[in-house]
């Protein structure tokens, strides 16, 4: 009698079973890895919160807010690049500028006489050489132009204003528009100075003194559309409007709606709430320009809050500070002339006045995933986007992500730096006659952190700086040092080879007796405005960028990486 068949435990390992078993094991392993991957991805997606918009890289933000190099200033989170930074300098590098020969030709043609260098002849003084100078005399005007061109060889002159009388009998004021010869930015600058003129016994006129930057205050009072006294090549109107002009009087008053009809027929967009407040300036602009871009896409007026919160990283109190004005940092005149914007306070005043009477409706949107394309057919007077309290889903810039990114363009060209701040930059550079080299030296916390920056402290020590700079900057040059090192005496050894300069040397440009202080106090309803950390680093950066040679910390002074050890490759990618 045959018994029941006996099965061996090794039967599954018979040669004919190895293939199917191996395939089953691989399948189970792959499925397990898939499930584990999904679980990990779900946890990350649920808990991840980006610190700021720079964690959402796109071609736009890479182009405008970051650098493709290890440069210090260009990608530093404390320095915001704005629209004028991306204008090619050759856009304004007109081949025609005013030089000595142009002035001499005009002088000769007008007066049938030869004019010497920074000297001129006057035939009206024979009776009395003590007769006061007539600033409106063409001879005096041409003399002043020649003197300015000779005095400032490192700038190109594009326009001179007429010479006007100064309070002193032998002085005249004159303004001009110019660009530095080696300028890397598109800006035009305006300066106005006081000229002291003398007349010799043989009636020859000569300029004996040219005042400091912005000393010719009488020349500043001329209307902006007044015909200048001399132009080699008048700028076209569209060129003037499209270029920043530093030094002109700024008109950044709030726009107002002229009548009930114009307000009631308008279409408006407003962003309310959200987590963007008190973030760094890069984050603020990235979100603000999303709102402005959507307003332009929808052909609506953006209702904006001019009151912003300054992040603690820029304040002396190390606390977030409310009540700062957009106009402290950016050129509101250019914005309001180039785009349709209204101040929120003014808007609500008009809305409350005419909303019921004219039946104006509000369309509320509380989900950032409602795209601008879906709102294009809304006819209500006001579209209000209301953002919640959960970050990062309450960041304004989320509206412009995803499919919206291909439709809504951030209008970077509309945001320029405050021309009042840029006037301080121009003042510093002008005192150095636009003839200086610059170096940026990062120390502070980074120099003390040997784990992330093992060489920075030593590489930025005075002895190392002297060794490194000797092959890069000629002895005796004016050297502007932009640095976060609070003790300026630390750099005293550099004075043996260079004439060193720091931002603090020029604090009179924003002090209590300065134009900046006076204008900012008026703008701030009579309350003084602090020259805060963001203003300081902005001016320091812009002065650095106008140096003829620019030496960067992490590009030129040390092999350490800007963001710490082993990060250089990611910075240059």
Query: Mean per-residue pLDDT for 452-462?
Result: 95
Instruction: Tell me whether residue 469 is exposed, middle or buried, using C-beta atoms within 10 angstroms of its C-beta: 0 to 12, 13 to 18, 19 or more.
Output: buried
Domain match, 258 and 352 both:
yes
Confidence of residue 200 (pLDDT cuts 50, 70, 90): confident
Domain match, 148 and 271 both:
no
Give domain status of residue 273, yes or no: yes
Confidence at residue 334, expressed as pLDDT on a 0 to 100 scale: 93
Q: CA-to-CA distance for 554 and 552, rounded, in angstroms? A: 6
Domain match, 382 and 530 both:
no
Domain stop point among 393, 414, 435: 414
Query: Mean per-residue pLDDT for 445-454?
Result: 93
Confidence at residue 108, expressed as pLDDT on a 0 to 100 scale: 55
Q: Which of 228-242, 367-381, 508-522, 556-570 has the lowest mean pLDDT?
A: 228-242
Domain match, 425 and 520 both:
yes
The answer to whether 560 touches 199, Cβ cutoff 8 Å, is no
Counting the structural domains of the chain, the total is: 3
Confidence at residue 245, expressed as pLDDT on a 0 to 100 scale: 81
Confidence at residue 285, expressed as pLDDT on a 0 to 100 scale: 95
Please report the sign of the dihedral spanned by the C-alpha atoms of residue 91, residue 95, residue 99, residue 104: negative
Give domain status of residue 537, yes or no: yes
Confidence at residue 1, expressed as pLDDT on a 0 to 100 scale: 45
* 3-class state of residue 80 by DSSP: coil
Give domain status of residue 299, yes or no: yes
Domain match, 528 and 404 both:
no
Confidence at residue 354, expressed as pLDDT on a 0 to 100 scale: 93
Q: CA-to-CA distance for 289 and 409, rounded, in angstroms? A: 9
Q: CA-to-CA distance for 140 and 153, rounded, in angstroms? A: 20
Give domain status of residue 395, yes or no: yes
Domain match, 444 and 406 both:
no
Q: What does 27-71 look like in DSSP terms, one character per residue? A: HHHHHHHHHHHHHHHHHHHHH---SSGGGS--HHHHHHH--SS--
Instruction: Tell me whether residue 35 is exposed, middle or buried, using C-beta atoms within 10 angstroms of its C-beta: 0 to 12, 13 to 18, 19 or more.
Output: exposed
The answer to whether 475 touches 497, Cβ cutoff 8 Å, is yes
Identify the residue with better confidence: 159 or 112.
159
Domain match, 387 and 402 both:
yes
183-192, pLDDT tens digit by residue? Answer: 777 788 999 9
- Domain residues for the domain of 456 are 419-552
Identify the residue with better confidence: 177 or 81.
177
Domain stop point among 160, 194, 219: 219
Phi, psi of 17 (to 5 degrees): -100, -10
Q: CA-to-CA distance for 395 and 284, rounded, in angstroms? A: 10
Domain stop point among 386, 414, 442: 414
pLDDT at 58 > cutoff 70: no
Alpha helices in 369-491 (DSSP H): 372-375, 419-431, 444-448, 456-459, 462-469
Confidence at residue 105, expressed as pLDDT on a 0 to 100 scale: 66
pLDDT at 463 > cutoff 70: yes
pTM equals: 0.80
Domain match, 280 and 338 both:
yes
Q: Which of 401, 373, 284, 292 is nearest to 340 (CA)?
A: 292
98-151, pLDDT tens digit by residue? Answer: 888 787 666 555 443 333 335 555 545 555 667 888 999 999 999 999 999 999
pLDDT at 201 > cutoff 60: yes
Domain match, 409 and 439 both:
no
Helix H or strand E segment including 385: strand 382-387
Confidence at residue 568, expressed as pLDDT on a 0 to 100 scale: 85
Q: CA-to-CA distance for 156 and 95, rounded, in angstroms? A: 10
Confidence at residue 490, expressed as pLDDT on a 0 to 100 scale: 95
Confidence at residue 89, expressed as pLDDT on a 0 to 100 scale: 54
Give domain status of residue 59, yes or no: no
Domain match, 392 and 514 both:
no
Query: Mean per-residue pLDDT for 412-424?
Result: 94
* 3-class state of residue 455 by DSSP: coil
Q: Which of 437, 460, 459 is nearest to 550 (CA)?
A: 437
Domain match, 374 and 443 both:
no
Percent residues over pLDDT 70 in the chain: 76
Q: Which CATH number covers residue 288?
A: 3.40.50
Domain match, 427 and 377 both:
no
Confidence at residue 341, expressed as pLDDT on a 0 to 100 scale: 96
């Amino acid at each position: 009698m045959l018994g029941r068949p006996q099965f061996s435990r090794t039967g599954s390992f018979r040669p004919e079973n190895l293939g199917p078993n191996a395939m089953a094991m691989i399948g189970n392993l792959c499925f397990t890895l898939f499930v584990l991957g999904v679980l990990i991805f779900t946890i990350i997606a649920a808990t991840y919160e980006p610190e700021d918009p720079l964690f959402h890289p796109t071609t736009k933000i890479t182009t405008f807010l970051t650098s493709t190099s290890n440069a210090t200033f260009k990608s530093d989170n404390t320095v915001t690049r704005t629209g004028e930074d991306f204008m090619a300098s050759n856009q304004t590098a007109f081949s025609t500028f005013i030089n000595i020969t142009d002035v001499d030709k005009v002088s000769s043609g007008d007066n049938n006489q030869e004019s010497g260098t920074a000297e001129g002849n006057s035939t009206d003084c024979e009776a009395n050489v003590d007769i006061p100078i007539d600033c409106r005399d063409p001879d005096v005007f041409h003399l002043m132009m020649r003197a300015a061109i000779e005095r400032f060889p490192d700038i190109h002159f594009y326009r001179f204003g007429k010479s006007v009388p100064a309070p002193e009998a032998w002085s005249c004021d004159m303004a001009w528009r110019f660009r530095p010869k080696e300028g890397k930015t598109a800006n035009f600058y305006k300066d106005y100075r006081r000229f002291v003129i003398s007349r010799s016994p043989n009636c020859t006129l000569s300029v004996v003194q040219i005042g400091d930057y912005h000393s010719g205050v009488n020349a500043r009072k001329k209307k902006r559309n007044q015909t200048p006294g001399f132009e080699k090549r008048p700028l076209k109107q569209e060129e003037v409007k499209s270029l920043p002009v530093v030094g002109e009087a700024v008109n950044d008053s709030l726009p107002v709606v002229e009548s009930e009809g114009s307000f009631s027929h308008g279409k408006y967009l407003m962003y309310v709430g959200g987590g963007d407040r008190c973030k760094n300036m890069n984050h603020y602009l990235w979100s603000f320009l999303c709102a402005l871009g959507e307003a332009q896409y929808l052909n609506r007026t953006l209702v904006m809050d001019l009151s912003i919160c300054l992040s603690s990283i820029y304040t002396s109190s190390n606390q977030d500070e409310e009540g700062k004005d957009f106009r402290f940092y950016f050129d509101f005149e250019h914005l309001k002339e180039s785009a349709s914007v209204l101040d929120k306070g003014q808007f609500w005043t008009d809305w409350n006045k005419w909303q019921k009477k004219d039946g104006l409706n509000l369309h509320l949107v509380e989900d950032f995933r409602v795209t601008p394309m879906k709102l294009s057919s809304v006819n209500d007077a006001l579209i209000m986007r209301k953002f919640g309290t959960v970050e990062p889903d309450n960041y304004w810039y989320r509206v412009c992500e995803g499919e919206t990114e291909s439709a809504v363009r951030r209008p970077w060209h509309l945001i320029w730096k405050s021309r009042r701040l840029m006037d301080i930059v121009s003042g510093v550079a002008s005192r150095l006659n636009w003839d200086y080299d610059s170096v940026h030296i990062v120390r502070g916390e980074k120099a003390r952190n040997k784990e992330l920056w093992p060489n920075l402290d030593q590489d930025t020590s005075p002895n190392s700086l002297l060794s490194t700079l000797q092959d890069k900057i000629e002895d005796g040059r004016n050297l502007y040092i932009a640095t976060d090192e609070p003790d300026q005496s630390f750099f005293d050894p550099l004075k043996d080879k260079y004439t060193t300069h720091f931002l603090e040397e020029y604090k009179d440009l924003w002090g209590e007796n300065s134009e900046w202080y006076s204008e900012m106090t008026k703008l701030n309803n009579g309350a003084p405005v602090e020259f805060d950390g963001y203003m300081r680093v902005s001016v320091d950066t812009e002065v650095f960028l106008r140096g003829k040679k620019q030496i960067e910390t992490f590009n030129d002074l040390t092999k350490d990486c800007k963001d710490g050890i082993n990060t250089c490759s990611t910075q240059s990618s």
